Structure 1
Amino acid sequence: MTDDMPLLRVAALSKSYGSRVGCADVSFDLWPGEVLAVVGESGSGKTTLLNCVSTRLMPTAGTVSYRARDGEWRDLYRMSEAERRFLMRTDWGFVHQNPADGLRMTVSAGANVGERLMAVGDRHYGNIRATAVDWLGRVEIAEDRVDDQPRAFSGGMRQRLQIARNLVTHPRLVFMDEPTGGLDVSVQARLLDLLRGLVADLGLAAIVVTHDLAVARLLSHRMMVMKDGKVVEHGLTDRVLDDPQAPYTQLLVSSILQV
């Protein structure tokens, strides 16, 4: 399969909660290996958009199409629930802001990573454990913590473990919801550096929701700015941040510069 076609197509996606708009008429393509940042203040609709695109939330209107490994396009909302769950276990990953939402807190770190491997058919205990240890090392978790439960880890370690759990199966697309939210600044910096390296090494496509423009600049190739559920600006990340056109984007950028 070639990379001269998008991996994901979102067309006129909308979600409303009664009279309240979550997101409205959002369209974009995502290409293999591309990282798209969706930015905006709280309530701008960015998390609603992410949840609709990742099939965690049913949209009110619009379509989301995914190009499968066989090259065929799949309408995600015409797939069965079982097919979508399989996609989430294999081709996709989802990194939550709160790592406890993306981990099993009462099983070991190694088991958290190993579960994803078993989901794609690995049944050899030795291979699973060795791969888990390797991935813990890649996210800077010591081998002697492989049998510790995540509840014994710091917040930064839990987030790194969640990243290992998601990336161990080499997914093609990863969704990230405020991946550095709630972490100390020094921990954020290390995590961002780790994420940037892994995304580049693995050639992942990713959609990253964040309110932090520094995170967007470090991680993403392209950026969408949302306000009141609508996209107000969309373009290459450096262009949007260095030469914002929409008044709302200008306000966001200037407020960061004044801090």
Structure 2
Amino acid sequence: MNSEPILSVRKLEKRYGNFIGCTDISFDVWPGEVVAIVGESGSGKTTLLNCISTRLERSSGEIRYRMRDRRFPDLAELSEAELRFLMRTDWGFVHQNPADGLRMRVSAGANVGERLMAIGDRNYGEIRSRASDWLEHVEIAASRIDDMPVAFSGGMRQRLQIARNLVTHPRLIFMDEPTGGLDVSVQARVLDLLRMLVSDLSLSVIIVTHDLAVARLLSQRMIVMKSGRIVEQGLTDRVMDDPSHPYTQLLVASILEN
């Protein structure tokens, strides 16, 4: 494993007045590692993800990111332009609802090509060719490059959102319940695709999910949250097979009963 983390979170807190969204959060993410953040609804996992990805302003704490030039600044030190560039190129964000991560009124090819233009690509033929390749990567026929996302099924929209995020070869991907709104059979297909792409591209991923089966399939390490705090973290197999905190034991027992 690389000796330097790509992301480091220390003592992160988000408050809404007197209400705590998350507090005292500290962990690292290493290059090529998938970290799952799990917990029931209201546990603070989505608040945490939104703070780390700068979609939500933190109240206190540090979030440091390893830039491509090896700098390791706190994200608060970056200018708005630098943050925007990170979000368009070096990071990806896969939403639960694909419509939140796609432009629904432009074609599938334009959705993918837009990210390439953000990193300076201007040759229309090359952009279209790479968009076509990426559609096929995510199991969408290249012949549908000019179709609008509104004409796609939920599973196809999610795969298109994945292609849009990965086309710029980002190093860190945030995923918020990426299979949450899909039918079970469609979920399995999207999960298989995600697992293959994450492995092939050596991506670092932070995935939020309430589904421990999804966490086990995709992640190497798991963070368990309850009431805005981390109650347990460790290697995914260890946490699943031998949970130490009563809350984690309850979560694991609940999937065994289903």
Q: TM-score range by the shorter chain?
A: over 0.9
User: Residue type of the partner of 1:144?
Assistant: S
Q: Deviations over 1:80-136 (max 9, x none)?
A: 111101100110000000100000000000000000001011111111001000000
Deviation of residue 28 (structure 1)? 0.4
Partner residue in 2 for 1:140: 139
Partner residue in 1 for 2:256: 257
Distance in 2 (alpha carbons) for counterparts of 1:28 and 1:180: 24
Distance in 1 (alpha carbons) for counterparts of 2:67 and 2:8: 12
Distance in 1 (alpha carbons) for counterparts of 2:64 and 2:92: 17
Q: What's the RMSD between the two structures over aligned residues?
A: 0.8
Partner residue in 2 for 1:109: 108
Partner residue in 2 for 1:212: 211
User: Secondary structure of 2:73's match?
Assistant: strand
Partner residue in 2 for 1:94: 93
Q: Deviations over 1:59-100 (max 9, x none)?
A: 111010001011111110121111101100110000000100
Partner residue in 1 for 2:119: 120
Distance in 2 (alpha carbons) for counterparts of 1:120 and 1:4: 28
Deviation of residue 215 (structure 1)? 0.4
User: Secondary structure of 1:112's match?
Assistant: helix
Distance in 1 (alpha carbons) for counterparts of 2:182 and 2:209: 13
Distance in 2 (alpha carbons) for counterparts of 1:73 and 1:258: 44
User: Secondary structure of 1:158's match?
Assistant: helix
Distance in 2 (alpha carbons) for counterparts of 1:22 and 1:156: 31
**1:221 and 2:199 aligned:** no
Partner residue in 2 for 1:159: 158
**1:242 and 2:236 aligned:** no
Q: What TM-score, normalized by structure 2, do the two folds share?
A: 0.99
User: Residue type of the partner of 2:47?
Assistant: T
Task: Give % identity.
Answer: 73
Structure 1, gaps ≥5 residues long: none
Q: Deviations over 1:141-160 (max 9, x none)?
A: 01111000001101100000
**1:50 and 2:43 aligned:** no
Distance in 2 (alpha carbons) for counterparts of 1:150 and 1:194: 19
Structure 2, gaps ≥5 residues long: none
User: Residue type of the partner of 1:221?
Assistant: Q
Distance in 2 (alpha carbons) for counterparts of 1:3 and 1:220: 17
Partner residue in 2 for 1:80: 79
Q: What TM-score, normalized by structure 1, do the two folds share?
A: 0.99
Distance in 2 (alpha carbons) for counterparts of 1:44 and 1:165: 29
Q: How many residues align?
A: 258
Partner residue in 2 for 1:62: 61
Q: Which runs of 4+ in 1 moved over 2 A?
A: none
User: Secondary structure of 1:73's match?
Assistant: coil
Distance in 1 (alpha carbons) for counterparts of 2:105 and 2:38: 33
Deviation of residue 3 (structure 1)? 2.7
Partner residue in 2 for 1:29: 28
Distance in 2 (alpha carbons) for counterparts of 1:245 and 1:186: 32
